[in-house]
Structure 1
Amino acid sequence: MTNKIIAVQGNHPSKLNPKSDTSVFLANEIQSKYKIFYYDPKNLSIINSKVAAEGFFIKFDYNNKKFFKILKKQKLNLELCKFILIRQDPPFNLEYISTTYILDQIKHKVKIINDPTSIRNVSEKLYSAKYQKFMPATIFSQNLDEIKSFFKKNKKVIVKPIHSYSGNDILLMNSYNSKTINKFIKKHDHIMCQKFLPKISKGDKRVFIINGKVVGAISRVPKKGSFLSNMSKGAVPINIKLTKSELKISKLISKDLKKENIFFAGIDFIDQKLNGDINVTSPTGLKSFYDLSGINLAKLFWKELKA
């Protein structure tokens, strides 16, 4: 059984939507060759100097209404795995960070995607600060004077938490409101403020990066009346091509991410501008891309990983 197991650290399958979920899509692609062991991050431990997880072996089936079957519950020494996929949703909080430190103990013995040290080093929004020349006007701050000044220059502003996900807690503000901003900072500490791009109504583009290569993209169009392009918030995916400018920027970032030891990532554009989300914790969209294009990036994912 050694090395014929792939572990997935993620949210319980009952919370996933098989029609769009990338973790299910990746596991489904490889389960004929490897056993899939699934565990929740809270069930990850170091016991007697061994990294172990309480979880279960699982089989996925897109043809059944109940798309997964738990085969056997077990505590597993994760050193027995060939690969471990870190796939739980953010927020990137202390629990998330703790799991990366635990998995650091075995990353020299088991290939972990994405590398736990790299996940800590590549803060999904703050990492984009090095690419600000490709972005709309953006600041990262909790200084009220700086934020007020930013609003004065840019009028309509998107306000985001730095460590959240899936469009949660994002505000669109037409003017500076000290009470709202104070409350937001109290909850989230440093925040990201970005000039609003009205062409978000036409969708944002999610670019997929695997092993330092730009391998595909989709657009996600917000539902009517919304400025959120996350599919979990009702956005609809459509097939698109990248412009020359978007491709050039994507290739530059993909090379940098490879140097950072990030194997799988997603980056986003609005109106040909990078929106500052460098998704490395649990990138999504591969199933939607397959449904739209017929191109199975899960096959490429495993091919590149095994190479």
Structure 2
Amino acid sequence: MSLRIAVQMDPLESVKIAGDSSFALMLSAQARGHELFHYDVRTLAYDTNEGAGGRLTCWGAPVTVQRVEGNHFTRGEYRLIDLVADIDVVLMRQDPPFDLGYITATHLLERLEGQTLVVNDPASVRNAPEKVFVLDYARFMPPTFIARGIDDVRRFQKRVIDSGLPGDLVVKPLHGNGGKAIFSVPADGTNLGALVEMFQNAWVEPFMVQPFLPDVTKGDKRIVLVDGVVAGAINRKPGEGEFRSNLAVGGYAEPCGLTVEEEEICAAMGPELKARGLVFVGIDVIGGKWLTEINVTSPTGIVAIDKFNGTDTGAMIWDAIEARHAAMKR
């Protein structure tokens, strides 16, 4: 059955097609005969005067995509689209920041429940931000501290040192993405005060502090789960002069399998991800055992995984989406 799919994402002009997971998903959907539309989240509008339950619309355009650098899409005319009458599936893929605009969009899209399938489930995305949802699995995490006060952070650092770890820290924004604004702090804490001041001025929310894990030099593994089942993994290693391994900041990928500890992590969270409607999820694990993030907003990595493993993760994702859509319509 052909589906009408509205992709909520950043401008298509900015897509780097070589490794972009959203673009890969669009190609996969198109190959199945599904009809694609693109829209900007800022065009969402909700009207309470259109009958019971209201009417959610956007300004979207039909698109076709192709893996041709510099000529990767063709777009039709933008028009007003009813996200119930005109669309079967909304694919929510715009990048964070996970701010009030993002949260408001999830509230609006949640009103489509039972009528149009939204992937990932917007209520679950809203309630499972990357560095907060992961706290449900603290038993798999390195020591982690969330706070805003310098004295609190210094106490945490002392506890890290007392536990036998070197005392070097990593400080990162609670709702950041792509490795942005992640800082390392030496054990002597010489730049900790200034760094905390910067975080306090830049963000209203607390920030996350963890011990620096030397194993990060061996890589930061991205494991993709589809409807709670492992689809594959890549090991991301830092580029020269970097400790961050995110591909967006110069890291590079290499093939890998899963450790016993990583399989345990995936088995523990898989059923919960499926129950929450989190179809496409990427988790990050350091050193084969330390869970650091659960990415649900706009996870990436499927292009590299498929390249190394000869798999088709996009097909797995669309199989799951099509099954969920069929179940919703029964």
Specify if TM > 0.5: yes
Q: Please report how far the alpha carbon of residue 239 of structure 1 lies from its aligned counterpart in structure 2 after TM superposition.
A: 0.7
Distance 2:71 2:2 in 1: 28
Query: What residue number does 1:42 align with?
Result: 42
Query: What residue number does 1:11 align with?
Result: 10
2:63 aligned residue (51, 58, 63): 58
Paired residue secondary structure (2:17): coil
Amino acid at match of 2:196: I
Identity percentage of aligned residues = 31
Structure 2: tracts of 5 or more residues without a match:
161-166, 324-330
Distance 1:10 1:39 in 2: 7
Query: What residue number does 1:244 align with?
Result: 260
Q: Please report how far the alpha carbon of residue 185 of structure 1 lies from its aligned counterpart in structure 2 after TM superposition.
A: 2.4
1:114 aligned residue (117, 120, 145): 120
Q: Please report how far the alpha carbon of residue 5 of structure 1 lies from its aligned counterpart in structure 2 after TM superposition.
A: 1.0
Distance 2:196 2:149 in 1: 10
Query: What residue number does 1:137 align with?
Result: 143
| CA distance 1:72–1:34, shift in 2 (3 Å) | farther
Which is further off, 215-224 or 48-57?
Answer: 48-57
Verify: 1:156 aligned to 2:156, yes or no.
no
User: Is the contact between residue 160 and residue 193 of structure 1 (CA under 8 Å) also seen in structure 2?
Assistant: yes
| CA distance 1:41–1:150, shift in 2 (3 Å) | same
Distance 1:216 1:4 in 2: 26
Q: Please report how far the alpha carbon of residue 89 of structure 1 lies from its aligned counterpart in structure 2 after TM superposition.
A: 0.6
Distance 1:304 1:183 in 2: 43
Q: What's the CA shift string for 1:129-164, capped at 9, x where partnerless?
A: 122221111111123322111122332101011111
2:99 aligned residue (93, 98, 107): 93
Verify: 1:293 aligned to 2:309, yes or no.
yes
User: Is the contact between residue 129 and residue 297 of structure 2 (CA under 8 Å) also seen in structure 1?
Assistant: no
Distance 1:129 1:200 in 2: 20
User: Is the contact between residue 208 and residue 214 of structure 1 (CA under 8 Å) also seen in structure 2?
Assistant: yes
Q: What's the CA shift string for 1:47-102, capped at 9, x where partnerless?
A: 34311111211111103532111123222111121111110111100000010011
Point out the structure with the larger strand share.
1
- State the aligned residue count: 306
Paired residue secondary structure (1:256): helix
Amino acid at match of 2:279: F
Distance 2:25 2:107 in 1: 24
User: Is the contact between residue 8 and residue 91 of structure 2 (CA under 8 Å) also seen in structure 1?
Assistant: yes
Distance 1:123 1:274 in 2: 18
Query: What residue number does 1:227 align with?
Result: 243
User: Is the contact between residue 126 and residue 140 of structure 1 (CA under 8 Å) also seen in structure 2?
Assistant: no
Distance 1:108 1:285 in 2: 30
Query: What residue number does 2:271 align with?
Result: 255
Q: What's the CA shift string for 1:30-58, capped at 9, x where partnerless?
A: 11411111111111111343111112111
Q: Please report how far the alpha carbon of residue 22 of structure 1 lies from its aligned counterpart in structure 2 after TM superposition.
A: 0.6
Verify: 1:84 aligned to 2:90, yes or no.
yes
Verify: 1:179 aligned to 2:194, yes or no.
yes
Which is further off, 121-130 or 233-242?
Answer: 121-130
Q: Please report how far the alpha carbon of residue 293 of structure 1 lies from its aligned counterpart in structure 2 after TM superposition.
A: 1.7
Distance 1:301 1:258 in 2: 12
Which is further off, 169-178 or 235-244?
Answer: 169-178
Distance 1:103 1:134 in 2: 32
User: Is the contact between residue 236 and residue 251 of structure 2 (CA under 8 Å) also seen in structure 1?
Assistant: yes
RMSD of aligned residue pairs (Cα, Å): 1.6
Amino acid at match of 2:313: L
Verify: 1:213 aligned to 2:218, yes or no.
no
Distance 1:274 1:123 in 2: 18
Amino acid at match of 1:112: V
Amino acid at match of 2:238: P
Structure 1 length normalisation: TM-score? Answer: 0.95
User: Is the contact between residue 58 and residue 72 of structure 1 (CA under 8 Å) also seen in structure 2?
Assistant: no
| CA distance 1:197–1:56, shift in 2 (3 Å) | same
User: Is the contact between residue 7 and residue 90 of structure 2 (CA under 8 Å) also seen in structure 1?
Assistant: yes
Verify: 1:269 aligned to 2:285, yes or no.
yes
User: Is the contact between residue 3 and residue 89 of structure 2 (CA under 8 Å) also seen in structure 1?
Assistant: no
